[in-house]
Amino acid sequence: MNDSQDIKKTLEEKILSKRQQIEFEKTNLDLTTEFSPENRENPEVMEEAKNYNDPAESVVETDEVKSLKNAEKDLNDLIKQLEELKNR
């Protein structure tokens, strides 16, 4: 294999790995949101209704959201690198 093919293969492997990481993190965020105590409140009770329609970010720790966003940015960067390599 030549250098270009090695780089392409490495980028493709990193992209696959990053996609799996993102899917895993999204699943964890979804489960955290779905099963959080805040989402099991009874909306008919006035005091508990305050949090009923809160966005998922209020339930999920911001570090988890930041990690997911960073992983998505990394994936986009890897895809861009692969496209640039293919266009050479």
Q: Please count the structural domains in the chain.
A: 1
- Please determine, for residue 24, whether its predicted confidence score (pLDDT) is greater than 90: yes
Task: Provide mean pLDDT across the span 17-26.
Answer: 94
- Note the pTM of the prediction, 2 decimals: 0.66
- The pLDDT confidence band at residue 81, using thresholds 50, 70 and 90, is very high
Please identify which residue in the block is written with the tokens 């492997």.
Answer: 13
Pair 41, 52: CB distance under 8 Å: yes
| 44 vs 1, residue with greater confidence | 1
In which domain, by residue range, is 47 found? 3-86
- The pLDDT confidence band at residue 22, using thresholds 50, 70 and 90, is very high
- Please determine, for residue 72, whether its predicted confidence score (pLDDT) is greater than 70: yes
Distance CA 50, CA 48 (A): 5
